[in-house]
Amino acid sequence: MEKKFNQPLGGNDMTRAGGPATMMRLPTQKNAAGLDACFVGIPLDIGTSNRVGARHAPRSIRAESCMIRPYNMGTGAAPFDNIQVADIGDIPINTYSLLKSIDIIEQKFDEILQHNCIPLTLGGDHTVTLPILRAIAKKHGPVGLVHVDAHTDVNDEMFGEKIAHGTTFRRAIEEGLINGNRVVQIGVRGSGYAAEDFDWGRKQGFRVVQAEECWHKSLTPLMEEVRQQVGNGPVYISFDIDGLDPAYAPGTGTVEIGGLTTIQALEIVRGCQGLDIVGGDLVEVSPPYDTSGNTSLIGANFLFEMLCVLPGVLSEKHP
Ligand code: MN
Ligand code: MN
């Protein structure tokens, strides 16, 4: 039967090892016109503080997305039956200037949002979320945030710089891009500079869920509370791959042990179903440190899972 919306290229039409490496082997287009959702890459890593390499992630995530089939057998979601999706390529950042790059990103996301298209971003380091949220807040006002990460990313400055991958969510609060009472950070852990390191966000109203609170548990009950906290307003999902344990996702820049399992992260993203999601990103995959390709592969799958919980995507099973 002829399908109404763009479909990923099937594994029986072209071997999964072949064809152009677009996200999920979807068609490409130059801009977001006519799309309900798009995949867009940001090949930027000049905001990182330790290992670099995230600039290579959009291409690598696309390559590793070649196995993902159109139906979500876990949730019953069938995104390509319900909404129009394409891969709109990469943002042409300036690889010598972080400040110029974030202006370019904001302007390109303004364009995407003008088309009423929901962006799902293939990062890039976590700096990219700031200009995305700047564009999103212009359209939707301050949004709620589901933030998966080993780090809170609320430093005031890094090496004296206000813009870096570890300052994103402090700037987002200061600029009124996110509503502190509608923010949850899940998976934070590791060593710090002071015992109060995770408390700045709590003072802004964030719910900060440390990794230790997640150990050995299903996160489905947590997500019930998160949905209550976040409520009916617009929500953004920001998924730093280092929220996962390095046993699953070693290919990243700032590794912390004792992280989330892939199953717990599935419970988080699937637990966002029913929220008014206005955008999402998957950041901090660093292919040079990802010798098996698994980190990119996991990243690709979580971007698919985000697609599966967007408004307008019907699902047989609800959380
Ligand atoms: Mn992180
Ligand atoms: Mn981060």
Q: What is the pLDDT of residues 261-301, one digit of tens each?
A: 999 999 999 999 999 999 999 999 999 999 999 999 999 99
Mean pLDDT calculated for residue range 173-200: 97
Residue 17: inside a domain, yes or no? no
Q: Is the pLDDT of residue 318 over 60?
A: no
Range of the domain at 167: 23-308
Residue in the block written with tokens 């989330």:
260
Q: What is the pLDDT of residues 87-117, one digit of tens each?
A: 999 999 999 999 999 999 999 999 999 999 9
Residue 313: inside a domain, yes or no? no
Please state the domain count of the chain: 1
Residue 172 and residue 178 in contact, taking contact as beta carbons nearer than 8 Å: yes
| Ligand closest in space to the Cα of 151 | 1
Residue 4: inside a domain, yes or no? no
Residue 11: inside a domain, yes or no? no
- The CATH number that applies at residue 243 is 3.40.800.10
**What is the rounded CA–CA span in Å between residue 224 and residue 260?**
18
Nearest to 315 by CA among 73, 68, 85: 73
Collect residues with CB below 5 Å from ion ligand 2.
126, 149, 153, 240
CA of residue 126 to ligand 1 center, whole Å:
8
**What is the rounded CA–CA span in Å between residue 183 and residue 202?**
10
| Ligand closest in space to the Cα of 243 | 1
**What is the rounded CA–CA span in Å between residue 314 and residue 212?**
34
Tokens found for residue 99: 């400040």
Residue 289: inside a domain, yes or no? yes
Q: Helical H runs in the chain? A: 57-64, 79-82, 98-114, 129-140, 168-174, 199-203, 211-214, 220-230, 262-270, 294-308
CA of residue 13 to ligand 2 center, whole Å:
38
- Bridge partners of residue 119, in order along the sequence: 38
pLDDT of residue 100: 98
Residue 129: inside a domain, yes or no? yes
Residue 319: inside a domain, yes or no? no
**What is the rounded CA–CA span in Å between residue 109 and residue 231?**
25
Residue 45: inside a domain, yes or no? yes
Mean of pLDDT over the chain = 97
pLDDT of residue 3: 85
Question: pTM for the complete prediction?
Answer: 0.97
